[in-house]
Structure 1
Amino acid sequence: MKKLLRWQKILLGMLIALLLAIAGGIIYIKLNIYTPSSTASAIDPIKVTKDYELFTSEQADRAKEKTNLIFYPGALVEPASYRIWAQEVANAGYRVYILKLPFDLAVMAPNKANAVVKSHEKNILGGHSLGGVMASRYAHNHQQEISGMIFLASYPDEKGSLAKSSFPVLSITASKDQVLNHKQYQKAKNYLPKMTTYDVIKGGNHAGFGSYGAQKGDGQATISNRKQQKEIGQIIIHWLQEIN
């Protein structure tokens, strides 16, 4: 067997180290993913594909059904964690798509909304935490196809600036949220249009925008997850009714 040259040994060692680092990163991500509560898991989407979970209502208003709420989950949060408020919004007559992302990270697929955005229909983008940042970048780059934007404990960065957009924006935060960078949130208001509605859920926290248990570094909610989910759904429905 031919012996490896010194540079070949070095290259092989670097390759092995790289593969180990990648494997370690994948294992770390999988061990730190937030999984849905039993309540959220018990809700069945009307359709599941490799790209999204879809929620609709049998009693859906056909006019409202032309409104698509396309949602980017927060970092390392499984899509099913948002099923509770998604189903409530769907029950009001709207279609809700919760996107499925590689490794549950929106940064791995910032243009995932392409799989759902439909021309000649009202497409509302939404996102929780980092998911909102990526959603706003998509909205910034596809303003002709987007009719609105919803931020849950999130805000746009410069690349996702919506300051010059002509569509309305809804921003919902929670009073006990300690994961959201409140200083950056205030600065990011410069990237939002004048048609932005702000709402605060009193007693809610960051993890409460989904239903997946406690999140590291978060504040302690003084309302139940059930109540926060209900409020999220009601706020979104009211806003959708106002902009339609």
Structure 2
Amino acid sequence: MVIVLVLAVGGTLAWTQIGVMAAEEGPLSEAQADPDITIRDAPEGIVIAPAAGGSDTGLVFVPGAKVDPWAYVAVLRDTAAAGTTVVITRPWLNLAFFDPRGLDAFTSAAPEVDEWSVGGHSLGGVRACQLTEDAAALVLFASYCSTDLSGTDLAVLSLSGSEDGLSTPAKIADARHLLPATADLVEIDGASHASFGDYGPQNGDGTPTISDDEMHETVTDLLAGFLER
């Protein structure tokens, strides 16, 4: 029995480290060269802040399953440049449901921020739904909640893709009842599951018809309108 348990644990740990989807070098390099932001590799996560400083709003963002956290820097860089400090977490074992830490484990990276939102992509969004107690708002990228938030007054922005083969439009619709009635759901035409990060194609996903640059711009505009509400 002990040997079986050791093998099971060892196999699970090995699986979490195999097939992690790496950040694409081009978009990441462009973000790192952006003079309008600072990027800090902190113990709490990857911290992207406006270079001018003075940020009083923040977003804790949880990556999708087995996706390199750096893959979200490019899509969130303009949100940071506009004045919102972003902390991209590093989920334990590359899977958000293995990470029991609360929101304050990440917000401590920027104590000057007064108001925090929480969000995530795919499985990271599912985990973000569980971290909303101390958050001002929730942002979902190609994700949906398993936690019932329908009875709350939480501000919610749910972004999905018409070509998503994983968090399909049907799955997003089926979980709509778990969000507040006031939640804003936006389906981005031409976006796939992997369009919400910069890590290349993903097995089981649809084929995007929107360019990376257009996707980044669309997400930035939608986030700006929501976070500055």
TM-score by length of 1: 0.83
The structure 1 segments of at least 4 consecutive aligned residues displaced by more than 3 Å after TM superposition are 117-120, 181-184
Q: Which has the higher helix share?
A: 1
Post-superposition offset of 1:38 = 0.5
Q: Contact 1:123–1:146 at 8 Å: present in 2 too?
A: yes
Q: What SS class does the counterpart of residue 218 from structure 1 fall into?
A: coil
For the pair 1:115 / 2:93, whether they are aligned, the reply is no
Note if contact 1:152-1:209 (Cα within 8 Å) is conserved in structure 2: yes
Matches within 5 A, 1:8-157: 14-42=1-29, 43-44=31-32, 46-60=39-53, 62=54, 65-117=55-107, 121-139=114-132, 142=133, 145-157=134-146
Aligned-pair CA distance for 1:163: 1.0
Distance 2:214 2:13 in 1: 34
Aligned with residue 208 of structure 1, among 195, 203, 228:
195
Residue 181 of structure 1: CA displacement? 4.1
Q: Distance in 2 between matches of 1:116 and 1:146?
A: 12
Match of 1:225 in 2: 212
Distance (whole Å) between structure 2 residues aligned to residue 26 and residue 167 of structure 1: 35
Cα drift, residue 29 of structure 1: 2.4
After superposition, give the CA deviation of every residue in 1:176-215 in whole Å (9 maximum; x if it has no partner).
1011144332122111112211212111100010000000
Give SS of 2:10's match: helix
The one-letter code sitting in structure 2 at the alignment partner of 1:126 is: G
Distance 1:183 1:222, change over 3 A: closer
Counterparts in 2 of 1:164 and 1:117: CA distance versus 1, 3 Å: farther
Fraction of identical pairs, as percent: 28
Secondary structure at 1:235 match in 2: helix
Q: AA paired with 1:90?
A: A
Match in the other structure for 1:238: 225
Specify the structure having the higher radius of gyration (Cα): 1
Counterpart residue number, 1:167? 154
* Distance across 2 between alignment mates of 1:217 and 1:178: 6
Q: Which amino acid aligns with 2:50?
A: S
Q: Give the distance between the partners of 1:184 and 1:212, measured in 2 at CA.
A: 23
Letter in 1 for 2:130: R
Amino acid corresponding to residue 154 of structure 1 in structure 2: S
Q: 1:122 offset after TM fit, Å?
A: 1.1
Determine if contact 1:110/1:138 at 8 Å carries over to the other structure.
no
Unaligned runs of 5+ in 2: 33-37
Q: State the distance in 1 between where 2:63 and 2:57 align.
A: 19
| Equivalent residue letter for 2:143 | S
The answer to whether the 8 A contact 1:89-1:236 is kept is: yes
Unaligned residue ranges in structure 1 (runs of 5+)? 1-13
Shifted more, 31-40 versus 75-84: the winner is 31-40
Q: Which residue is 1:192 aligned to? A: 179
- Aligned length, in residue pairs: 220
